Chain A
Amino acid sequence: MQPNQPVIERTTGRTVEINKVLKNTYLLLSATFIFSAIMATISTLMYMPPMTYLICIGIAFLMIWFVLPKTANSSSGLITVFAITGLMGFAIGPLLNAYLALSNGSQIIGTALGGTGIIFFALSGYALMTKKDFSFMGGFLLVGLMIAIVASLANIFLQISGLSLAISAVIILIMSGFILYDTSQMIHRPESANYILMTVSLFLSMFNIFINLLHLLGFANDD
């Protein structure tokens, strides 16, 4: 029995660490979603101009690249996360107003929101329950994301609607892959999975799924 003792202790310690990362990440993710939804509602009610989207997303990304890595290991990281998610929520106000102007706009927004939630819970739940390691997808997902961004960049000037729809579909699949990847990172590498960074990563995946699902549903609606 004696030699097994440290192994058991190590396993228990690791399980506690995994549970801590998972609990903190999902709690923070829930809180940021509520905050982001409030900010989106404010932006919608204020009828913010379309440029709000670009400005807020731009500032949010600058914070993700330059502020978040410096604050992720301190309590100020929480303020950074709420600032980023709040800005991203505020950014989509003009987009939501454009959809709400359609005859069944609220149905499209509701379907996109529900669809995003189902995709997230199904994939994250699958990774949690099966405990499969999806870290092998990292390179594939990042290369896919780079290709999708290059295609989006080209389409800003080409304005091909078919390409725009294809990009949206591909981004939904890539972000779904990132949900699997991030969830399995929390299970298999809890020591390197910072819950603040994980929250932002999962938030970005869900945000992108929602925006692109909205685009596809808007197209399917023929408006």
Chain B
Amino acid sequence: MDWMKIGSAILMIMFLVMIFPRVKHELKHGKKGTQQEWLGALALLGGVALFVWLLMKSV
């Protein structure tokens, strides 16, 4: 099973390397949201969290 761990680690490191330029670009040039926009988005994600919690309770 050790090579499975090593393989997963290599894949994740590759993922980080591939995603890093996009993260840098998005942080530099990405659109900044207003407080109201963030509250709306966080409320939606809060709804998802609540839904997942309910699913966990149902099984």
**Interface residues in chain A, defined as those with a beta carbon under 8 Å from any beta carbon in chain B:** 50-51, 54, 57-58, 61, 65, 104, 107-108, 111, 115, 118-119, 122-123, 126, 132-139, 142-143, 145-146, 149-150, 152-153, 156-157, 169, 172-173, 176-177, 180, 213, 216-217, 219-221
Neighbouring A residues of B22 by C-beta, 8 Å = 142
Interface residues of B in 10-54 (CB under 8 A from A): 11-16, 18-20, 22-23, 26-27, 30-33, 37-38, 40-41, 44-45, 47-49, 51-52
Q: Which residue of A lies closest to B18 (CB)?
A: A65
Q: What CA separation (Å) do A201 and B4 show in the bound complex?
A: 26
Q: A65-B18, A136-B33, A216-B56 are in contact. Are A156 and B11 (CB under 8 A)?
A: no
How many residues of chain B have a CB within 8 Å of chain A?
38
Interface secondary structure of A, over-half rule: helix
Q: Which residue of A lies closest to B49 (CB)?
A: A173
Neighbouring B residues of A51 by C-beta, 8 Å = 4
**Interface residues in chain B, defined as those with a beta carbon under 8 Å from any beta carbon in chain A:** 4-5, 7-9, 11-16, 18-20, 22-23, 26-27, 30-33, 37-38, 40-41, 44-45, 47-49, 51-52, 55-59
Neighbouring B residues of A219 by C-beta, 8 Å = 56
Neighbouring A residues of B19 by C-beta, 8 Å = 142, 145-146, 149
Whether A221 and B59, one on each chain, are in contact in the complex, defined by CB atoms closer than 8 angstroms, is: yes
Neighbouring A residues of B26 by C-beta, 8 Å = 138-139, 142
Name 13 extra pairs, CB < 8 A, besides A111-B59, A138-B31, A149-B19: A54-B11, A119-B51, A123-B44, A136-B38, A137-B41, A138-B26, A149-B16, A156-B12, A173-B45, A176-B44, A177-B41, A180-B44, A216-B55
